[in-house]
Amino acid sequence: MTDQTKFLLSESDIPKTWYNIQADLPVPAPPPLHPGTGQPIGPDDLAPLFPMDLIMQEVSQERDIDIPEPVRDVYRQWRPTPLYRAHRLEKALDTPAKIYYKYEGVSPSGSHKPNTAVPQAFYNKAAGIKRLSTETGAGQWGSSLSYAGALFDLEVQVFMVKVSFQQKPYRKAMMETYGGTCIASPSELTAAGRAILEKNPDSTGSLGIAISEAVEVAAQNDDTKYALGSVLNHVLMHQTIVGMEAMRQMEMAGDYPDVIVACTGGGSNFAGIAFPFLGAKLRGGNDVRIVAVEPAACPSLTRGKFAYDFGDTAQMTPLVKMHTLGAQFVPSGFHAGGLRYHGMAPLVSHVQDLGLIEAHALDQLECFEAGVLFGRTESIIPAPEATHAVRGAIKEALRCKEEGKSETILFNLCGHGHFDMQAYIDYFEGKLNNQTYDESELAMALAGLPSVANG
Ligand SMILES: *Cc1c(COP(=O)(O)O)cnc(C)c1O
């Protein structure tokens, strides 16, 4: 008899609360600051951008936050998601380690993003909002929010980084199928977009620029709020449903992770799987190593500075303390579009600063190689972003082999790659290369950090 490979919960096991790590932090995270005064901002400062329910979640110190029943109802479409034991990958690696992965690609848009898109749409609808504006890089967030907007009868306007807009027509078609509007950013629709185009008509855009455009639209229209797909505290909290389910499933497997691995763009899928386990450890539970894997071509956690910075290029957002490459940083055109943000979630940055997690940067070629091995053994083709987690988990498994240890590894397979097969085509044709930055390139973008908050 082979060991069990799939651990499934039933619908009634969908968690009834999200987990808020702010309740268990040994040191509170530094507060967001007003860019003009350098003073901490209050809930009212965020009111033009977000509905009050989400603002209260953003600042909450309570450990367990109720998931509204209508949100759980929608979650039932694809949750609980499966957790697998990767027997065939283990065998291919000839490792004594046990590898488990939580698979978030079963959602309607193919990634973990709907875990937060659905509650964000729900709370905005409840507050009487008509329209959501947002940005998207590779298009996963734009399609997820468009899906959620369709469910809660909200208009969704998506500013999509121009280079992806041109390279990824299927994601745009997906947004439009759900009823969303998708605009290439920088655009002529906003002052922020026009300012960029005036300086550089050929700008291919960046997440920082697209955020400026979406924030501007929300700030200027009473019926419109802004939605962000990562980085913010409430987004990370919504994603903890991943880790809470995984805890139950590891229990079913009769196992507990020694190492948890996830990829980090803005930090939400990482926090989603890791924070419930980290919280348990902080409350005196089992020890666990937690490893964040980021692309060497956008290395905010490993090479950025832990400093106050803007979330966007046009400097419209509050200042948040995070590992940042500088809001002016424009990453090169590597393929894991979802990992191309200049900053890292303040809560992920904070736990890294406290030494509670580790971070590693990997090159895209070794990640695609891992993605292909994963496809050939476990049959799921990972999103380019998720290949970083796969590679990270494989590295841990190979270390176990070297050290002769049978550790338990858990990683988050945050999405499938069905809309990103061009990246695999390019990989097979040898068109991908590794990109890194020398210190002077990074120093240039970091020179622009706002002085009001950084002394
Ligand atoms: C958006 C996205 C990411 C990056 O965002 P995080 O907030 O770091 O999770 C990673 N993987 C996939 C599949 C995504 O869609």
pLDDT tens sequence across 277-296: 999 999 999 999 999 999 99
Look at the chain and count its residues.
Answer: 455
Residue 22 lies in a domain: no
Percentage, residues of the chain above pLDDT 90? 86
Residue 307's pLDDT is what? 96
| Confidence band, pLDDT 50/70/90 cuts, at residue 1 | very low
Residue 2's pLDDT is what? 58
Indicate if ligand 1 lies below 6 Å from the C-beta of 266: yes
Mean pLDDT (the chain) is: 95
The Å distance, Cα 268 to ligand 1 centre, comes to 7
Indicate if the pLDDT at residue 385 is higher than 60. yes
- What's the rounded mean pLDDT across residues 107-120? 98
Task: Locate the ligand 1 atom nearest the alpha carbon of residue 113 and give its number.
Answer: 15
Residue 121 lies in a domain: no
Residue 450 lies in a domain: yes
- The token pair that represents 307 in the structure block: 């400093």
Residue 137 lies in a domain: no
- What's the rounded mean pLDDT across residues 178-197? 97
Residue 223 lies in a domain: no
Indicate if ligand 1 lies below 6 Å from the C-beta of 330: no
Indicate if ligand 1 lies below 6 Å from the C-beta of 207: no
> Rounded CA gap, 92 and 81, in Å?
25
Residue 455's pLDDT is what? 66
Closest residue by CA, ligand 1 atom 14: 338
Domain that includes residue 304, residue range: 5-14+67-110+234-454
> Rounded CA gap, 118 and 107, in Å?
11
> Rounded CA gap, 277 and 260, in Å?
9
Contact (CB, 8 A) for 272 and 116 = no
Task: Locate the ligand 1 atom nearest the alpha carbon of residue 383 and give its number.
Answer: 13
Question: Which of 102, 103, 111 has most ligand 1 atoms within 8 Å of its beta carbon, as the pocket-test mutant?
Answer: 111
Helix, strand, coil distribution of the chain in percent, nearest 5: 45, 20, 40
Judged on CB neighbours under 10 Å (0-12, 13-18, 19+), 58 is: middle
Residue 189 lies in a domain: no
> Rounded CA gap, 368 and 61, in Å?
39
Indicate if the pLDDT at residue 68 is higher than 60. yes
Full DSSP string of 313-360: TTS-SPEEEEEES-TT------S-GGG--SB--HHHHHHHHTTSSEEE
Contact (CB, 8 A) for 182 and 169 = no
Residue 48 lies in a domain: no
Contact (CB, 8 A) for 102 and 78 = no
Task: Locate the ligand 1 atom nearest the alpha carbon of residue 272 and give its number.
Answer: 9
The Å distance, Cα 136 to ligand 1 centre, comes to 11
Query: The whole model's pTM is what?
Result: 0.97
Question: Which of 300, 362, 414, 418 has most ligand 1 atoms within 8 Å of its beta carbon, as the pocket-test mutant?
Answer: 414
- What's the rounded mean pLDDT across residues 312-324? 92
Indicate if ligand 1 lies below 6 Å from the C-beta of 299: no
> Rounded CA gap, 32 and 269, in Å?
22
- What's the rounded mean pLDDT across residues 161-188? 95
Indicate if ligand 1 lies below 6 Å from the C-beta of 113: yes
- What's the rounded mean pLDDT across residues 169-197? 97
> Rounded CA gap, 203 and 199, in Å?
9
| Confidence band, pLDDT 50/70/90 cuts, at residue 333 | low
Closest residue by CA, ligand 1 atom 5: 265
Of 155, 145, 152, 156, the C-alpha closest to 125 is 152
The Å distance, Cα 265 to ligand 1 centre, comes to 6
What's the Cα-to-Cα distance from 443 to each of 299, 303, 324, 390, 439, rounded to whole Å? 13, 10, 11, 30, 6
Residue 314 lies in a domain: yes
The Å distance, Cα 113 to ligand 1 centre, comes to 7
| Confidence band, pLDDT 50/70/90 cuts, at residue 235 | very high
In this structure, what CATH number is given to the domain that contains residue 310? 3.40.50.1100
The helix or strand, by DSSP H or E, that contains position 224, with its residue range, turns out to be strand 224-226
Full DSSP string of 31-71: PPB-TTT-SBP-HHHHTTTS-HHHHHHHH---SEEEPPHHH
> Rounded CA gap, 122 and 152, in Å?
6
The Å distance, Cα 402 to ligand 1 centre, comes to 31
Q: Could you give the number of structural domains in the chain?
A: 1
Indicate if ligand 1 lies below 6 Å from the C-beta of 140: yes
Of 305, 369, 380, the C-alpha closest to 101 is 380
The Å distance, Cα 230 to ligand 1 centre, comes to 8
Residue 454's pLDDT is what? 79
